[in-house]
C-alpha cells in the first residue's frame, strides 16, 4: 500500500472532515475523535444521537491509558488474549470530544489489526472515531458495495475499496468493563 491514501485521509481528518474507510471488521465512518464538530457531523450523517454507537480506534494498546482515567487491570488482560476484534467499553473516558462520551462517561476502544487503520491512526496521533457506515437502524454493511449512496456522498473522503484487506465482515465483540473489574458481554 502506498502512502498517498494515508496522507489524503490525514489531510481530511486534520481539517475536521469525515472519512469512509475499511477496518478489520466492517467499513466505518471516521473523524478525529478530539474534534466535537466532526463528531457532530457523524451523528447528523447517520441520523443518530446514540453516543453508544461510536467508539474509537487506537494503533497500540499502550495508548489506552491516554483516553481512560484509570484502566481496570482486567482490561489489559482482555486486550492481550483477544483472538478476534474486541471493543472494550471502559469507564472514565477522557481527552476526546465531550459529545463522543455517553452520560455515564464510558468510551469504547478497539485496537484494529488492519494495516490501513494502523498506519492512519499512527500518523494522526489521535484516536480515530469508528462507527459502522450505515444510517441508524439499518444493517452494518459488510462490504463497500453495501454502503448506501447517502453515506458515501456525506463524507469528505472515501478509501479505495482495494485497501479493504481481509475484514471479518462482522462487527467486533463488545465487552463492558467496570471500575472494579466487572465484565459484561454486550455483543459476543
Please tell me the total count of domains within the chain.
1
CATH number at residue 42: 3.90.870.10
Give me the pLDDT at residue 169, please: 76
Q: What is the 3-state secondary structure (H, E, C) of 72-131?
A: CHHHHHHHHHCCCCEEEEECCECCCCHHHCCCCCCEEEECCCCHHHHHHHHHHCCCEEEE
Phi, psi values for residue 178, rounded to 5°: -90, 165
Nearest to 103 by CA among 112, 111, 93, 113: 93
What is the CB neighbour count within 10 angstroms for residue 88?
28
Cβ-Cβ contacts under 8 Å for 158 (sequence gap 6 or more):
19, 20, 152
Low-confidence ranges of the chain (pLDDT < 50): none
Domain membership of residue 178 as a residue range = 4-187
pLDDT at 159: 93
pLDDT for 164: 65
- pLDDT tens column, 129-140: 999 999 998 988
Supply 75's cell numbers: 482490561
Amino acid at each position: 500500500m502506498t502512502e498517498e491514501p494515508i496522507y489524503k485521509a490525514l489531510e481530511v481528518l486534520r481539517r475536521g472532515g469525515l472519512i469512509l474507510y475499511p477496518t478489520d471488521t466492517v467499513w466505518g465512518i471516521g473523524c478525529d475523535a478530539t474534534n466535537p464538530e466532526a463528531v457532530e457531523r457523524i451523528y447528523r450523517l447517520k441520523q443518530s444521537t446514540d453516543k453508544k454507537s461510536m467508539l474509537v480506534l487506537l494503533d497500540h494498546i499502550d495508548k489506552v491509558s491516554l483516553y481512560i482515567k484509570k484502566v481496570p487491570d482486567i482490561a489489559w488482560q482482555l486486550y492481550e488474549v483477544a483472538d478476534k476484534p474486541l471493543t472494550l467499553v471502559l469507564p472514565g473516558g477522557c481527552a476526546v470530544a465531550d459529545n463522543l462520551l455517553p452520560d455515564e462517561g464510558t468510551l469504547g476502544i478497539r485496537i484494529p489489526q488492519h494495516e490501513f487503520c494502523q498506519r492512519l491512526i499512527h500518523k494522526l496521533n489521535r484516536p480515530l472515531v469508528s462507527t459502522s457506515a450505515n444510517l441508524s437502524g439499518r444493517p452494518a454493511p459488510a462490504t463497500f458495495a453495501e454502503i448506501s449512496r447517502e453515506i458515501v456522498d456525506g463524507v469528505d473522503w472515501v478509501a479505495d475499496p482495494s485497501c479493504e484487506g481481509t475484514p471479518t465482515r462482522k462487527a467486533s465483540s463488545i465487552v463492558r468493563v467496570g471500575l472494579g473489574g466487572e465484565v459484561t458481554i454486550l455483543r459476543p
